[in-house]
Amino acid sequence: MKFILASASPRRRELMEMLRVSPLEIRPAKGEEHPDPGLNGEETAAELSRQKCAEVAASADPEDVVIAADTVVWLNGRIFGKPHDHDDAVRMLMALSGRTHTVYTGVTISRGGQMRTEVEASDVHFRELTMEEIEAYIATGEPMDKAGAYGAQGYASLFVEGIDGDFFNVMGLPLCRLGQMLKKFGIALI
């Protein structure tokens, strides 16, 4: 049995390695993400993680444990995914400034023909940001590959006044939930 992380995210890989999950193979899903536009943030995160997991599990050994995740930022009925460009990142960060938004991460695990999906939600409180701060942050390059155009574990930690919920969820992989889900597959990490 090996663990297969169906993600190219360096943060998710780092979190799995922190838990000393072994052997660990990184096998990102290659398919296009096609969520139903009528889904809310929670449903979108769940659906996208299911799609990724199903794709990778189709070519995995049945004894392998495939783990997929997808994270979205949700504010006022809108999903904030990864920014397309500089202007998109500015738009997202301006919208998040001084407000509370919800981060949803869908986690799907597949093993032995069984698949299970759960979603973690965390509320993130941003302080008011100036345009100078937004531009300086974007210039670091950090926001360009992250949902909502920020990483709470990096420079954007200077923007986050508080988090209600799992911090690791905001990083892209809710570890407490993951551990509980793995137990349902008969796997204890500790």
CATH topology for 3-184 is: Maf protein (3.90.950)
CB 108 within 8 A of CB 49: yes
> CA of 106: how far to CAs of 63, 114, 118, 134, in Å?
22, 17, 6, 28
Structure tokens at 188: 């204890």
> Please, what is the average pLDDT of the chain?
96
pTM here is: 0.94
Residue closest to 120 by CA, chosen among 188, 177, 80: 177
**Long-range contacts (CB closer than 8 Å, 24 or more residues apart) made by 23-27:** 27/56, 27/60
What confidence category does residue 86 fall into, taking pLDDT thresholds of 50, 70 and 90?
very high
pLDDT recorded at residue 33: 74
So which residues are the catalytic ones?
70
Beta strands in 88-171 (DSSP E): 100-111, 114-126, 160-164
What confidence category does residue 37 fall into, taking pLDDT thresholds of 50, 70 and 90?
confident
CB 103 within 8 A of CB 72: yes
Instruction: Write out pLDDT tens, residues 144-174.
Output: 999 999 999 999 999 999 999 999 999 999 9
Instruction: Write out pLDDT tens, residues 38-85.
Output: 999 999 999 999 999 999 999 999 999 999 999 999 999 999 989 999
